[in-house]
Structure formats: C-alpha cells, structure tokens
Amino acid sequence: MRLKSSKLPIVARVLLGAIFLVFGLNGFFHFLPQPPAPPRAIAFAGALAASGYLFPLLKATEVVAGALLLLGFVPIALTLLAPIVVNIVAFHVFLAPGNYAVVGLVLAAEIYLALVHRAAFAPLFAHRSARRAPDEAASLEAAHRVAA
C-alpha cells in the first residue's frame, strides 16, 4: 500500500494539527494544567516569556500551523513546525525528561508527513543545475551546441 493511498496521512495530519492547535491556544488561554517542571526547564520557559515576544510568536505559530494542517495546507505547515518540533524534542531530552510518548508521536507525524509530501520539498534538495528553468536549460544547451 502506498503512503498516500491509505488513511494514515489524514490521521497523522489531523492529529498533528489538533495537537499544535490545542497546545498553541493553551499558551494564550491556559486551560490545560501544567505539571511541575525541572528548574532548568522553568528557567528556559521564563526566558522565552521574559523576552516579551518569543513565547507569543511561538504559540501563534503553533496555532497557525495547526490550523493549516487541519485545513490541508500540509507543506507550509510542516515547514513552520519543523524548528518547533526540533526544539520540543531537545527540550524534553535535555531540560524536562519525560513525556516521550507525545514527543515521539509529534516527531513521527512530522517526519511521516514530510515523507508523504516529499515532492513539495524536493526542490529544496535539488542540485542547482537541476533547478534551472526548462527554457533556461534549453537556451544553455543551444548555446553549447553552437559553441561546439
């Protein structure tokens, strides 16, 4: 069964979108209880909040990306979420060990959806000569034929 032909991409997209939408909104409205965190994690979160802009920007990005996932705009949402997911993993590995099930689920869904939508990201990894416009490549080939 192909990656796109199953229902798994839809489930992963909706689940990841819901997680980021809910936890992003929780950053503004505080409707979910927060478990006690280790001192280094509190210091890190406090620094984000003390900056005055980074924590709200982070949570707003989570809300927007979560909504984009739920609406089906997967490649742009994954692009917005990639650095956030890396930070979530690092935060739970280095500052607040635990909650690995949710962290693993978020990381797996991000990677899986990126693989499913890899065609949208292919130009980022293409060699420069392969990214040339078809008309530019054709004119270069014609110039090489004339020169030879």
pTM of the model: 0.82
Asked if 55 and 27 touch (Cβ cutoff 8 Å), the reply is yes
As a residue count, the chain comes to 148
Domain that holds residue 90: 8-121
Residue 71 domain flag: yes
Residue 66: which of 99, 127, 124, 19 has the closest Cα?
A: 19
Residue 133 domain flag:
no
78 within some domain: yes
Q: Is residue 115 part of a domain?
A: yes
Residue 23 CA, distance from chain mean position: 15
Question: Residue 106: CB partners within 8 Å, gap ≥ 6?
Answer: 16, 19, 85, 88
- Residues 45, 58 contacting (CB under 8 angstroms): no
Domain count for the chain, please give it. Answer: 1
Residue 81 near residue 110, CB atoms below 8 Å: yes
In a domain, 79, yes or no: yes
pLDDT along the chain (148 residues), means of 10: 76 98 97 94 94 96 98 98 98 95 97 97 83 59 60
139 found inside a domain:
no
Q: For 86-113, write each residue's pLDDT tens digit.
A: 999 999 999 999 999 999 999 999 999 9
- What are the backbone dihedrals phi and psi of residue 7, each rounded to the nearest 5 degrees, phi first? -85, -10
Residue 132 lies in a domain: no
Q: Are 107 and 91 in contact (CB under 8 A)?
A: no
Backbone dihedral angles phi then psi of residue 45, each to the nearest 5 degrees: -65, -35
Chain segment 5-19, per-residue pLDDT in tens: 689 999 999 999 999
Quote the pLDDT of residue 126: 87
In a domain? residue 105: yes
